[in-house]
């Protein structure tokens, strides 16, 4: 059996455009809600305001209809 140290390629990059399919619903402890459109925004909110945040919910992007 031949041994190799090379890792086979599992993923390829097809675009340099930003990619984020989800939106995020931030539930605050005072029952207010804020929806943000990127993981970076949700992560920043948690980092800066975690003492006021109850949960962060992932909202799936709506699927585009296929066909005509």
Query: In this predicted model, what pLDDT tens digit does every residue of 22-68 receive, in sequence order?
Result: 899 999 999 999 999 988 899 999 999 999 999 999 887 665 556 55
Q: Is residue 46 part of a domain?
A: yes
**13 domain residue, yes or no:** no
**5 within a domain of the structure (yes/no):** no
The answer to whether residue 64 is domain-embedded is no
CB 28 within 8 A of CB 53: yes
Residue-level pLDDT at 24: 92
Return the sign of the alpha-carbon dihedral for residues 18, 22, 25, 26: negative
Domain total of the chain: 1
Q: From CA 14, how far away is CA 61, in angstroms rounded? A: 20
Q: What is the pLDDT of residue 54?
A: 94
Task: Classify residue 30: in a domain, yes or no.
Answer: yes
Closest CA to 35 of 57, 63, 5: 57
Question: Would residue 9 count as lying in a domain?
Answer: no
d(CA 24, CA 59) in angstroms, rounded, equals 6
At 21, list the tokens: 């399919």
Task: Specify the higher pLDDT residue, 40 or 12.
Answer: 40
Residue range of the domain that includes 40: 23-59
- Tell me, yes or no, if the pTM score tops 0.75: no
């Amino acid at each position: 059996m031949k041994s190799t140290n090379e890792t086979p390629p599992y993923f390829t990059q097809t675009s340099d455009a930003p990619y984020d399919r989800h939106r995020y619903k931030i539930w605050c402890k005072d029952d207010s809600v804020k929806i943000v459109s990127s993981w970076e925004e949700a992560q920043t909110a948690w980092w800066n305001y975690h003492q006021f945040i109850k949960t962060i919910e992932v909202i799936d992007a709506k699927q585009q209809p296929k066909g005509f």
